[in-house]
Structure 1
Amino acid sequence: MVVEVIHPGRANVPKAELQEKVGKMYKVKDTNTVVLYGFRTQFGGGKSTGFGLIYDSVNDAKRFEPKYRLIRQGLAEKVESSRKQIKEAKNRKKKIRGVGRRIARHKAAKANK
């Protein structure tokens, strides 16, 4: 759904505040099921528009929402790897081409389990 917010005298409205308001409007039990994103403030201020989704449960939200939006909302945690790990993985990838790529991916998946 498209969410329009009129906020004269304020630069913009925090998403947490909007989540609560939208949750009350649609009688949602858990405000974590309300996902708001893509807000743009109109030139001159006073009005913002964005998008919103309401899921039946938190599990549904976790299942269908992109990971970055879950991280922003606090439903998932960002997996951070060190700079050295990223560089080593990049350099390993550069050495593998073609059929060997599939085998390397399979080995990496096994190592993670």
Structure 2
Amino acid sequence: MADASTVTIRTRKFMTNRLLQRKQMVVDIIHPNLANLSRVEIREKLGKLFKSETDLVFPFGFRTQFGGGRSTGFVLIYDSMEAAKKFEPKFRLARQELATIDRKARSQRKQTKNRRKRLRGTAKDKKQVKKQK
């Protein structure tokens, strides 16, 4: 874990998005002579900074500047867990273990895709695609 004294977190382009019930911002992390902060550390530090639970903080898209020492990314802080589960994509929820993505076998996914291609309109929306002869 990085020292708290050597790591500086600055926010830019802060915006309160009432429609999606969240705060969103660009975050600059200055970490000289250190590796990147982990996603968990970023969540903890921003949770303390904005007085919210760490489960409601969603950091993503972090890129390290060439030469190191500085990273920039995007952070969303939701007002409630219901809002986070409603608006956040499933893959980001799965990263924080708030949702599970059940993956079927690759061949099984391809078979259902090809069966759907034979159907028209709303018949494609049905979960159970029956075989047509």
**TM bracket (short chain):** 0.7 to 0.9
Counterpart Cα distance in 1 of 2:91 and 2:77: 17
1:59 aligns with 2:78: no
Is the CA contact (8 Å cut-off) linking 2:56 and 2:78 kept in structure 1?
A: yes
The percentage of aligned residue pairs carrying the same residue is 52
1:85-111 alpha-carbon deviations (Å, 9 max, x no partner):
112112213333xxxx124224x24x4
The Cα offsets for residues 29-81 of structure 1, whole Å up to 9 and x where unpaired, read as x2110111110100100000101111111111111111121111211111211
Gaps of 5+ in 2: 1-24
Aligned residue for 2:63, secondary structure, equals: strand
Cα–Cα, structure 1 residues 62 and 103, in superposed 2: closer, same or farther, change >3 Å?
closer
What runs of 5+ residues in structure 1 fail to find an aligned partner? none
Q: Aligned pairs, how many?
A: 105
Q: TM-score, normalised by structure 2?
A: 0.72
Distance in 2 (alpha carbons) for counterparts of 1:81 and 1:6: 41
Partner of 1:34: 57
> Are 1:14 and 2:17 an aligned pair?
no
Bigger RCO (CA 8 Å, 6+ sep)? 1
Matched, 1:84 2:100: no
Measured on the aligned residues, the alpha-carbon RMSD in Å equals 1.7
| Aligned equivalents of 1:14, 1:6: Cα separation in 2 | 13
Which has the larger strand fraction?
2
1:72 paired residue among 95, 102, 112: 95
Bigger share in helix: 1
What TM-score do you get using the length of structure 1 for normalisation?
0.83
